[in-house]
Amino acid sequence: MALSKEKQQQIHETRKKQILDAAMELFDTHGYTDTKISDIAAKADISKGLVYRYFKSKEDILYALSENIEHCFQDCAEQTSAKEGLRLFGLRLLSYPYYQDYIPPFRVFFTAALKDNIDSSKLQFPITEESMVDYFSKLFRRGQEDGEFRTGDPVLFGDVYFKYLIGSLISMNPGKSGQTYHPDIDLILSLFE
């Protein structure tokens, strides 16, 4: 008995989600570069060939995860307060998985785009140092106009905030001591008030 088109579509979506969930977990724990398609297939408990039936490459899997990222950029920029937008961005990027604001694909894609030179130009909001500083400087400029931040060069503020986020991402991996770094978004933003 043949499956209905509706049932086939449901199976297709379920399998695709299974692959994306497995990839997300592996990208988040092992990094994009160190994760292979075979690892994703094993984690999803499917064959490597089946992964390729849904995605042409590991990069395609990463791009499929980017929908939440573009929503996050828009959501942060649309906050009524520029400071809250910057804060929300930082929380979503740097929070641990058990925090409410954590968006797994965001940190994974952000790290991969910067560290592994992934071409993020296919996204509405490409992730490059230049684009991120520009994004943050617009929020700082808006915050200055609204009296949330002190007078100063918003591009410099955006650059400093970007560098803080990158440094925090690097520091979040437990070192040899096993201690983890817990970034303080409110503290860094208070430096601009």
Whole-structure pTM value: 0.76
Q: What is the pLDDT along the chain (193 residues), one digit of tens a residue?
A: 677 888 888 988 999 999 998 998 888 788 888 899 999 999 999 999 999 999 999 988 888 887 667 778 888 999 999 999 999 999 888 876 655 555 666 777 777 776 666 766 666 666 778 888 999 999 999 999 999 999 999 999 999 999 999 888 777 765 545 556 678 899 999 999 9
Regarding whether 77 and 162 lie in a shared domain, the answer is yes
Please report whether residue 4 resides in a domain.
Answer: no
CA dihedral 101, 162, 114, 167 (to 10 degrees): -80
Regarding whether 87 and 34 lie in a shared domain, the answer is no
Regarding whether 160 and 72 lie in a shared domain, the answer is yes
Please report whether residue 15 resides in a domain.
Answer: yes
DSSP labels for 123-162?
A: SSS---HHHHHHHHHHHHHHHHHTTSS-SS-HHHHHHHHH
Domain boundary among 19, 34, 62: 62
* Structural domain boundaries, residue 93: 67-191
Nearest-angstrom CA–CA distance, 35 and 44: 13
Regarding whether 184 and 92 lie in a shared domain, the answer is yes
Domain boundary among 62, 87, 103: 62
Q: What is the pLDDT of residue 83?
A: 98
Regarding whether 101 and 19 lie in a shared domain, the answer is no
Regarding whether 107 and 185 lie in a shared domain, the answer is yes
Q: What is the pLDDT of residue 1?
A: 60
Looking up residue 36, the CATH number of its domain turns out to be 1.10.10.60
Nearest-angstrom CA–CA distance, 7 and 44: 20
Task: Count other C-beta atoms under 10 Å from residue 118's C-beta.
Answer: 21
Please report whether residue 54 resides in a domain.
Answer: yes
- How many structural domains are present in the chain? 2
Q: 106: which 2 tokens? A: 């965001």
Q: What is the pLDDT of residue 59?
A: 85
Task: Give SS3 for 179.
Answer: coil
